[in-house]
Amino acid sequence: MDRQGYCIKCYRSRDERFNWLNYSNHQKQEVLRLCKQRAIRRYYQFLQQQRQQNNQSTSSQIDFNF
């Protein structure tokens, strides 16, 4: 589970996972749509963190001695 309470593999909430078998096909499709949004959001957060780390490491490696 991540900090928001979603599975880190399928991006479903605990309730969504436990109730999956009781959901109608329409409800399942809605959950899958939400999971896709969550996965995309997590991917962009990951990219942003990578950029920040790269910027920090690059700025600490700059040699200002000319």
Q: Band of the pLDDT at 22, cuts 50, 70, 90?
A: very high
Contacts of 62 (CB under 8 A, 6+ apart): none
Q: How far apart are CA 39 and CA 51, in angstroms?
A: 18
For residue 14, CA distances in Å to 7, 9, 56, 60 come to 8, 12, 36, 41
Threshold 0.85, pTM exceeds: no
Phi then psi for residue 51, to 5 deg, are -65, -40
Q: What is the pLDDT of residue 23?
A: 98
Whole-Å CA distances, 36 to 1, 15, 39, 49? 16, 17, 5, 20
